[in-house]
Amino acid sequence: MARPDPISAPFGAFALPELAERFRRLPMSLPLDGLRRGAETVVRRTLMSGGRDIADVEVFPGQFARLHLRDNRCEKRVFAGARTWDDAERAEIRARIAAHSADTPFNFVDAGANAGLYTLSVLADGKTLGRPVTVVAIEPDTENRRRLEFNLRSSGAEGVTVVPCALGAEAGEARMVQSGRNRGEVHVETGGEGDTVAMRPLQAVLEEAGIARVDVMKIDIEGYEAPVLEAFFARAPRTLWPGMILIETRHEAAIHDGAAGLCLAQGYTLARQMRQNAVLVLSHGEA
């Protein structure tokens, strides 16, 4: 039988056989500790050992994705580790959703949305907690965005605006730089030759999407966070500043360096430091 086309085939074409799917879900019933993480590794390696590189699965309650297991680290990790993948980071966002009023939408900005896993997690938590959710998912890379949009369609997602541009300090163009091993490391550079994408300031993207308040923003744009945030803080009204920012810090020597340090200088405080990311909260009375 011919292999389905991963681009055009409907969701379910790459579903796991029943026994394999039960095996994939096995670690989810284990305690949230090293035992579960070890089981996830065994399950992942076993299910990929036969050459499997794509799988259609339920990643979070009511949210579905076609996962590409060989070229994107986050898709590979969530395949058999949906409960432990960035669990601390997602728990911080979930707590914010739970504390949010049910009368107004919870506004989430996914800057560097990749295949949409953070967006899907927020949508799942919103439904579970009975909170309306609005998402602005920003992804400049054509292939990552195709996966994002497929996953949103497969999940019947509502309230999500997908923005096909790169973020920058000014409007213009940027060149996409690909990563052969991990699509999560695709990034932009200014200048040089190659395929270009539109680059737009964060404030302009939010205003065009009709967002007047940001409850949480996850920003992971592979080293371009500092110029984007510096321009944003200099020009955007404080009412538009995110109440909470989840930002990558693994490349910084200290929390006060780089983009995180820029946020701290603008009145954010460190709420939680993870291994790779930090949660920054705007001081009381400023959000």
Q: What is the pLDDT of residues 11-52, one digit of tens each?
A: 999 999 999 999 999 999 898 778 899 999 999 999 999 899
Query: How are strands ordered across the β-sheet holding 160-163?
Result: 160-163, 133-138, 106-111, 216-219, 244-248, 277-282, 268-273
Is residue 7 situated within a structural domain?
Answer: no
Domain identity same for 130 and 170: yes
Nearest to 156 by CA among 114, 113, 127: 127
pLDDT for 193-232, tens place per residue? 667 899 999 999 999 999 999 999 999 997 889 999 999 9
Nearest to 185 by CA among 252, 232, 88, 251: 251
Domain boundary among 33, 56, 80: 80
Is residue 287 situated within a structural domain?
Answer: no
pLDDT at 180: 66
Is residue 217 situated within a structural domain?
Answer: yes
Is residue 173 situated within a structural domain?
Answer: yes
Domain identity same for 138 and 114: yes
Domain identity same for 69 and 94: no
Is residue 121 situated within a structural domain?
Answer: yes
Write down the pTM of the prediction: 0.94
Place of tokens 């959710």: 133
Cα separation values, 272 from 162, 198, 244, 255, 280, Å? 28, 33, 11, 11, 7
Domain identity same for 254 and 159: yes
Place of tokens 């680290």: 73
pLDDT for 85-112, tens place per residue? 999 999 999 999 999 999 999 999 999 9
Domain identity same for 91 and 228: yes
Is residue 210 situated within a structural domain?
Answer: yes
Is residue 230 situated within a structural domain?
Answer: yes
Domain identity same for 29 and 138: no
Domain boundary among 80, 104, 119: 80
Domain identity same for 56 and 30: yes
- Domain extent at residue 126: 87-282
Domain boundary among 80, 95, 119: 80
Domain identity same for 63 and 96: no
Question: What is the tally of structural domains in the chain?
Answer: 2
